[in-house]
Amino acid sequence: MVRSVYWQRLRRNEVAAARDEGAVVLIPIGSTEQHGDHLAVDMDIRTATEICARAAQRVSEFPVLVAPPVWSGYSPHHMLYPGSITLRFDTFAAFLTDVVDSIRQHGFHHIVLINGHGGNIGHVSALANKLGTSGRPVASTSWWNMVGEAFNEILDGELKGVGHACEAETSCYLAIDPTGVDMSRAVRSYESQYIVEVDHAAFREAGMSYPTVFRENSLGLVGDPTLATAEKGERILEVAADRLAAFARAYRQVDLTSVPSLFADS
């Protein structure tokens, strides 16, 4: 087995050995953006990377590598706040494509994109579709999808999932690194904090979505981080890691060596 699950900590011969053993490669994707006054700005990528690492360490039958984290994503809707760093959509797509193509160039076929930022969801999905139809298939998900119904048992607040700087996210960071959380600054907020006010109930009823851009000087969060605990975070991380490890085992059995290119795209 490999000395470390982290791609960037391996020597080139160790990367080659992992490839020869049929390694699965997990790419954590996130952002660097404001998460209220109580939570570190690397929340999204820190959590995605932690889940990938825990999953990789659970698999002993073959290597699972965690690629270098993609620490910046699509976050223009947070740019009114200090600490936020965003990529343009085209930059994000091009960067992630180059990362995938580089990994494939070295002979790895089973690649999984693990997203940790809500603003990346549509872009990662579109990119995975583009790569798959051009003969470069990748699996993709956002980590909270792997937790799913388990949120109902773990969380106490009315939001049974991930909002923004919420009970779930704050709990995860408390479990990973409590020095990045200041619970004395955590506040509860479910009120609209966006520049454009819409009737959210009407949008939900119609199955519509609308771009959300936090207005300047708002709380910049959605949910109730005051309910967060490290124990809840540990449970969330463990569920996600267990399910990602199980997926890696199943995904490795899929033959991806002869997927055709249906459309010549870059």
Please check whether residue 259 lies inside any domain of the structure: no
* pLDDT on residue 97: 97
* pLDDT on residue 212: 78
Strands (E), the chain: 24-29, 64-66, 110-115, 139-142
Question: Which CATH number characterizes residue 152's domain?
Answer: 3.40.50.10310
Please check whether residue 257 lies inside any domain of the structure: no
* pLDDT on residue 178: 98
Q: How many residues does the chain have?
A: 266
**Structural domain containing residue 171:** 7-252
Asked if 222 and 166 count as a contact pair (C-beta separation under 8 A), the reply is yes
Please check whether residue 264 lies inside any domain of the structure: no
Helix axes 230-252, 167-176, angle to 10 degrees: 90
Please check whether residue 20 lies inside any domain of the structure: yes
**How large is the C-alpha radius of gyration of the chain?**
19
Q: Which of 177, 46, 171 is nearest to 114 (CA)?
A: 46
Q: Which residues of the chain have pLDDT under 50?
A: none
pTM here is: 0.94
Counting the structural domains of the chain, the total is 1
* pLDDT on residue 4: 97
Cα within 13 Å of Cα(244), Cβ side: 39
E strand or H helix that includes residue 174: helix 167-176
* pLDDT on residue 105: 97
* pLDDT on residue 266: 63
Please check whether residue 191 lies inside any domain of the structure: yes
